């Protein structure tokens, strides 16, 4: 269910093994091409890195590494979205302790995840009762990999999934919070499982 080895997201070797295997003979036969395949394979492993994090003892934390791209009210709730570019860690984490109530995949488009049009993109919605997470595929992302299912118990900062190659993660905050409680601002960089969104 969770990444092994602990420093790589599940499936990392699936993306890296073919370019790395091709790099070996090509380095001898066509060095520039072989070097390109080597860089691609190592890049895939680096992209799927999964560093340890140290969650704070309280508060609702960021679900993803990246920049805050969305802070908006939706009826009586507040949504905070984090856009991940290709250099960010793409392993996503639980903002707070919860029991997963449902995990729902919705197919869709693959438009840039930082635009309003991304509302039509492929997504996975994780309902955690008091809050909801939405993992949104981006223009390059093609696979959303949830690690959790209904009934799973989560602690703050637990890994809940990853998105391969560019994306966004939104958290619909618990109803007791309003925009005045949000401690981050748009375009601020945040770290999954560590940066406090609301205390």
d(CA 163, CA 168): 9
Helices (H), the chain: 12-29, 31-47
Q: How big, in percent rounded to 5, are the helix, strand and coil portions of the chain?
A: 20, 35, 45
Per the CB < 8 A criterion, the answer to whether 146 and 11 are in contact is no
Closest by CA position to 145, among listed 153, 155, 154, 135: 135
d(CA 26, CA 10): 27
In the set 58, 164, 167, 185, the catalytic residue is 167
d(CA 49, CA 52): 10
The yes-or-no answer on residue 167 being catalytic is yes
d(CA 6, CA 52): 8
Active site residues per annotation: 167
């Amino acid at each position: 269910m969770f990444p092994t080895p602990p420093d790589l997201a599940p499936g990392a070797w699936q993306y890296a093994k073919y370019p790395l295997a091709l790099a070996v003979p090509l380095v001898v036969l066509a060095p520039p091409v072989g070097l390109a395949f080597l860089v691609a394979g190592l890049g895939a492993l680096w992209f799927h890195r999964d560093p340890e994090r140290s969650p704070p003892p309280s508060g609702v934390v960021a679900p993803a590494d990246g920049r805050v791209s969305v802070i908006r009210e939706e009826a009586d709730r507040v949504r905070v979205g984090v856009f991940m570019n290709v250099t960010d860690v793409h392993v996503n984490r639980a903002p707070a302790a919860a029991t997963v109530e449902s995990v729902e995949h919705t197919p869709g488009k693959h438009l840039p995840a930082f635009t309003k049009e991304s509302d039509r993109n492929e997504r996975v919605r994780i309902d955690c009762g008091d809050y909801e997470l939405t993992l949104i595929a981006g223009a390059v992302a093609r696979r959303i990999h949830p690690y959790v299912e209904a009934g799973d118990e989560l602690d703050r900062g637990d890994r809940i999934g990853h998105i391969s190659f560019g994306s966004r993660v939104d958290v619909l905050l618990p109803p007791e919070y309003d925009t005045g409680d949000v401690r981050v601002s748009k375009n601020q960089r945040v770290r999954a499982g560590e940066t406090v969104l609301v205390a």
